């Protein structure tokens, strides 16, 4: 299935991408109450992970990271942030979810654990600031899932295969489309947002320090949030991606295959092999 196929189905039935995604799950044999209850469960976990590291500092098991969500939240609440209400809230949520993951807490992998902060941060910050109904938020999550499924089918969602563009890049595209969906944009606009996000994350390498999903992953989630918010905002304003979603995913696939293995989660390149990166590895593993 491609984005074009999805758009054709949406045009035929007048439904949104989220509604199409739910319908496809029903066609695969899951009942509507089951689908909605699973989405609601996921949203509850997302709500908890997005706030978990804001109330008190949360540290990773390795001791390499932690406390940044708490630090940023205090700065934000004191009114110092240079960002607007939604981006600042989304930054706090992304840090919290990613730090919760690094501390082995409960998260929703969307699409992966390393990129788990982007979709919840975007969906929760926008839905809370704009008072979006819970039902609509669940539909937006289903929309995000549909884009993830398309990327998985035509490229990859794994850093080990496609670099960080496959994880944070995919999450950013999923989040951008979900925002458009929540704000009442069209399916076409949702795919434009997804395509713009992918284009802006294309080529991003996977280079985790000490092989742990912490540095640069936690702050890279915040980068993915910024890309998603701006991509969605542009799409809602009517800005289109000259490269359609299906082509952007195809490019992501080819770029991922062209990346050397040192930049695909092996921790043998990029930030992982800087002097500071190697020092941190020694500190954790001796
Ligand atoms: S750098 Fe690698 S491990 Fe970290 S989030 Fe990106 S893809 Fe995942």
Nearest of 180, 163, 183, 176 to residue 262 by alpha carbon: 163
Beta bridge pairs of residue 76: none
Q: In this structure, which residue's CA is closest to atom 6 in ligand 1?
A: 164
Tell me the three state secondary structure of residue 43: helix
- Residue 273 CA to its chain's centroid (Å): 26
Q: Residue 93: what pLDDT?
A: 98
The pLDDT profile of the chain, 286 residues, written as one tens digit per residue, is 999 999 999 999 999 999 999 999 999 999 999 999 999 999 999 999 999 999 999 999 999 999 999 999 999 999 999 999 999 999 999 999 999 999 999 999 999 999 999 999 999 999 999 999 999 999 999 999 999 999 999 999 999 999 999 999 999 999 999 999 999 999 999 999 999 999 999 999 999 999 999 999 999 999 999 999 999 999 999 999 999 999 999 999 999 999 999 999 999 999 999 999 999 999 999 9
Q: In this structure, which residue's CA is closest to atom 1 in ligand 1?
A: 206
Q: Residue 132: what pLDDT?
A: 98
What are the helix and strand counts (H, E) for the chain?
14, 0
Please give the number of the atom of ligand 1 that sits closest to the Cα of 167: 7
Cα(69)–Cα(143) distance, rounded to whole angstroms? Answer: 27
Cα(175)–Cα(40) distance, rounded to whole angstroms? Answer: 17
**pTM, to two decimals:** 0.98
* Cα–ligand 1 centroid distance for 179 (angstroms): 23
* Cα–ligand 1 centroid distance for 27 (angstroms): 33
Just give the CATH number of 3-285.
1.10.4100
* Cα–ligand 1 centroid distance for 265 (angstroms): 7
Query: Which among 98, 101, 115 is the best mutation to test ligand 1's pocket, defined by most ligand atoms within 8 Å of the CB?
Result: 115
Cα(243)–Cα(245) distance, rounded to whole angstroms? Answer: 7
Q: Does any ligand 1 atom lie closer than 6 A to the CB of residue 224?
A: no
Structure tokens at 207: 């280079």
Q: Residue 101: what pLDDT?
A: 98
Long-range contacts of 87-90 (CB under 8 A, 24+ apart): 87/125, 87/225, 87/226, 87/229, 89/121, 89/124, 89/125, 89/128, 89/129, 90/121, 90/122, 90/124, 90/125, 90/126, 90/225, 90/229
Q: Does any ligand 1 atom lie closer than 6 A to the CB of residue 220?
A: yes
Tell me how far CA of residue 190 lies from CA of 132, 144, 172, 225, 279, in angstroms: 17, 10, 12, 16, 43
Q: In this structure, which residue's CA is closest to atom 3 in ligand 1?
A: 213
Query: Which among 217, 256, 267 is the best mutation to test ligand 1's pocket, defined by most ligand atoms within 8 Å of the CB?
Result: 217
């Amino acid at each position: 299935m491609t984005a074009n196929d999805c758009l054709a189905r949406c045009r035929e039935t007048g439904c949104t991408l989220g509604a199409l995604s739910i319908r496809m799950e029903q066609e695969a044999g899951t009942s509507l109450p089951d689908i909605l209850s699973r989405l609601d469960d996921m949203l509850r976990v997302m709500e908890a992970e997005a706030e978990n590291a804001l109330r008190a500092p949360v540290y990773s098991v390795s001791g390499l990271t932690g406390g940044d969500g708490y630090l940023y939240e205090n700065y934000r609440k004191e009114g110092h942030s240079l960002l607007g209400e939604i981006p600042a809230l989304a930054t706090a949520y992304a840090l919290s979810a990613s730090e919760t993951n690094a501390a082995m807490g409960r998260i929703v992998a969307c699409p992966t654990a390393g990129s788990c902060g982007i979709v919840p941060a975007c969906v929760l910050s926008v839905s809370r600031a704009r008072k979006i109904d819970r039902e609509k938020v669940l539909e937006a999550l289903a929309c995000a899932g549909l884009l993830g499924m398309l990327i998985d089918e035509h490229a990859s969602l794994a850093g080990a295969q496609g670099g960080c563009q496959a994880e944070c890049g995919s999450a950013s595209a999923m989040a951008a489309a979900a925002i458009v969906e929540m704000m009442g944009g069209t399916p076409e606009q949702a795919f434009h947002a997804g395509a713009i996000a992918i284009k802006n994350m294309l080529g991003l390498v996977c280079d985790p320090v000490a092989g742990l999903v912490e540095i640069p992953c936690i702050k890279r989630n915040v980068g993915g949030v910024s890309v998603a918010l701006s991509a969605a905002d542009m799409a809602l304003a009517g800005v289109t991606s000259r490269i359609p979603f299906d082509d952007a995913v195809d490019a992501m696939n080819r770029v991922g295959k062209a990346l050397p293995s040192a930049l695909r989660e092996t921790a043998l390149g990029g930030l992982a092999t800087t002097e500071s990166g190697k020092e941190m590895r020694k500190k954790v593993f001796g």
